[in-house]
Amino acid sequence: MASDDIWILGITMTKFGKHPEKDTVDLAAEAAMGALADADVNMGDMGVLAAGNLMSAAAGIGQQLQKQIGQTGIPVYNVANACATGATALRTAIMAVKAGECDMGLAVGVEKLAGAGLLAGGSKKDDADTWSPRGRFGAVAPLDGRVGTDTMPGVFAQIGMEYGHRYGGATFDLFARISEKNHAHSTLNPLAAYTKKMSVDEIMGDLMIAYPNTRPMCSANCDGAAAAVVVSGERLATLSGEQRRRAVKVSASVLTTDPWQESCQVLPDVNTLTRNAARQAYEQAGVGPEDLDLVELHDCFATAELVHYDNLMLCPEGGAVDFFESGATWRDGSTPVNVSGGLESKGHPIAATGIANIWEICHHLRGEAGDRQIEGAKVGLAHVIGLGSACGVHILEKAA
């Protein structure tokens, strides 16, 4: 029977960082078993498994994970959707439960990225010395850096600078102060890859990656995993009072891609699909940006955070600079953003990020976020975007 209400019953994330002693399946299993324990259920209760992994997607991470945590014959979906992979895995489990195919499901996102270096699009080399351009990316590769770029630092540097040219005020100093905020927030998150407070001068004086983003303004490649158990409202009603108390309602689950437009056939557009996703999510949830108590958005670069204030409609169109300058996005502000430290500090193991952002929101709604707790948090939004392009937005609400 189809279910209208979907809840997150259990959720966990591993410590993000370097885990040379663990392989991808080890990390995925740690997160999956943690989520099951947090939900007070077991693998035998699961009716579907959605497993997200980008760097080795063809290997069937879901089936490998089953061998480690329990093979029960349930359907397994292996998901790869750029930086939106984790959110897509969660949405896959949500859709299965919502459709009535099962009443409980498990979503996992995992990545081993420590030491991966610059992640970029394009085609791989045929051997160590030569590269033969082919296909769509090969056709535009000679233009890279002239009419745009397909490397992530360059893409998001361009996006931030474009916003500044259009609306004004988006200076090098401003982007550094966004990064300063996130590094300060990370000092309260023991699971973040980096928990070092950094001054604006330190951030601006660090290695320049793609102006205006210096190294501390960029998301940190690292190892990590996150997992969530989702349950139907009908099944939740049969569980214990403690399980019901800690459950978090999924008020909206949205996934979008780029609509067709002339400009984005070569240059990625992170704005339109995010704004479309946010609009759909607010409508689904029956809330507005003014109702949000906290937001975890995809700050793959400091420049990205600024434009997503606008795309998520946290401020009037063109008002992202004034919104940040007001202090709203700090932990003690009116709309705290990236209290976890964001991707710049918490880290960005690509496929885990979408669920990890939701983990942060859930812990505040449960009142379990420790020293970084946003008091009285009832509604939160988690956002990820993967170039390709895909955008996932989830709105979550505290149990009544």
Residues labelled catalytic = 83, 348
CB-side exposure of 235: number of CA atoms within 13 Å? 25
The bridge status of strand 76-79 relative to strand 49-52 is parallel
Indicate the DSSP class of residue 44.
Answer: G
Q: How far is CA 47 from the centre of its chain?
A: 25
First vs last C-alpha separation in the chain: 24
The bridge status of strand 213-214 relative to strand 208-210 is antiparallel
Q: Which residue has the tokens 């949000």?
A: 292
Q: Which residues pair with 385 in a beta bridge?
A: 391
Q: Which residues pair with 390 in a beta bridge?
A: 386
The dihedral region occupied by 389, where left means phi > 0, alpha psi between -120 and 50, and beta the remainder, is: beta
Q: Residue 123: exposed, middle, or buried by beta-carbon count in 10 A (0-12, 13-18, 19+)?
A: middle
Cα radius of gyration (the chain): 20
Q: How far apart are CA 361 and CA 381, in angstroms?
A: 7
Q: How far is CA 267 from the centre of its chain?
A: 22
Q: How far apart are CA 60 and CA 57, in angstroms?
A: 6
Q: Token pair for residue 58?
A: 């063809």
Q: How far apart are CA 354 and CA 377, in angstroms?
A: 20
| Phi, psi (deg, nearest 5) at residue 251 | -80, -25
Going by C-alpha positions, the residue among 304, 291, 310, 330 that lies closest to residue 384 is: 304
Q: How far apart are CA 2 and CA 99, in angstroms?
A: 5
Write the single-letter amino acid at 111: E
